[in-house]
Amino acid sequence: MTQNKLIVSNWKMNLKLSDSRILVKKIIKSSKIIKPHIKKIICPQFLLIPHISDLIKKTKICLGSQNCHYQESGAFTGESSIELLKKFKCKYVILGHSERRKYNAETNSMILKKIQTAFNHGLKPIVCIGETINLRKKNKYLEFLETQLHGSVPNMEEIIIAYEPIWSIGSGLIPSFSDILEINNFVKKYLYERKQLKKVSFLYGGSVSSKNIKGIIENSDIDGALIGGSSLNAEEILKIVSIFNFY
């Protein structure tokens, strides 16, 4: 049986309003090619969310946010609430991205609170974990990933984990397929056995392109991909979707 696959576009702080509309319209135009077992999720920056929400409202494309706060409302200048995200039909939220851990000093315990609040309000968290190049070279990456999982994943029914090695993001480098498979097995074993989760979906993220995705899917048993740079180009993201269609 074909397993469901998630293809998540992380646009980060990119695209002007006009470019985002052009990109989404191209994806919608080709959305007939997207097979039913594939869920295409677009995560734009906050201010684009209402516009993209309107554009995709009659399609099967889903919307996600790149962040949310762990409080429902209050004195949190510069933040945006889950209630508003849901009003604009966001169903997913990326949490714990390495860029937020680095530039916004997000800790595992903050991420845990965000995941819990998002989940309690019906948003599906896509939780990013990933090691630095130093930790990989020193063979300390599994310990580090375990710390991230231990500290940030609450007891809950199901979760989507995106393994994004920091050294791979935007660099054009990816781990070997067997390294991705190792982390996939490690994450699922840890979360099923130690945290008693019922369903774990494992995405790979970091320099995914139409050139490398076939090998990753065929050899690393992934449930989908989190895609940054390649998701900003309609032809490239549609090529990636069409490759996923076969698995």
> Given the rule CB under 6 A, which residues bind ligand PEP?
10, 164, 169-170, 205-208, 226-230
Q: Quote the CA–CA distance of 114 and 107 in Å, as a whole number.
A: 11
> Please, which residues have CB within 8 angstroms of residue 196's CB and are 6 or more apart in sequence?
155
Annotation says 97 is catalytic? yes
162: enclosing H helix or E strand: strand 158-163
CB 208 within 8 A of CB 6: no
Q: Is 82 left (phi over 0), alpha (psi -120 to 50) or beta?
A: alpha
Q: Is 207 left (phi over 0), alpha (psi -120 to 50) or beta?
A: left
Out of 37, 121, 164, 193, which one is annotated catalytic?
164
In angstroms, what is the minimal distance from the CB of 51 to ligand PEP?
Answer: 21
Which residue, 7 or 55, has its beta carbon nearer to ligand PEP?
Answer: 7
Out of 37, 79, 97, 218, which one is annotated catalytic?
97
Sign of the four-CA dihedral 153, 100, 169, 51: positive
Annotation says 164 is catalytic? yes
Count the residues in the chain: 247
In angstroms, what is the minimal distance from the CB of 66 to ligand PEP?
Answer: 9
Which residue, 125 or 228, has its beta carbon nearer to ligand PEP?
Answer: 228
Q: Quote the CA–CA distance of 134 and 238 in Å, as a whole number.
A: 34
Which residue, 24 or 226, has its beta carbon nearer to ligand PEP?
Answer: 226
In angstroms, what is the minimal distance from the CB of 183 to ligand PEP?
Answer: 15
Instruction: Report which residue type is found at 72.
Output: E
In angstroms, what is the minimal distance from the CB of 95 to ligand PEP?
Answer: 12
Which residue, 164 or 223, has its beta carbon nearer to ligand PEP?
Answer: 164
Alpha helices in 59-105 (DSSP H): 82-87, 98-103
In angstroms, what is the minimal distance from the CB of 94 to ligand PEP?
Answer: 8
Q: Quote the CA–CA distance of 87 and 82 in Å, as a whole number.
A: 9
Which residue, 96 or 200, has its beta carbon nearer to ligand PEP?
Answer: 96
* Residues catalogued as catalytic: 97, 164
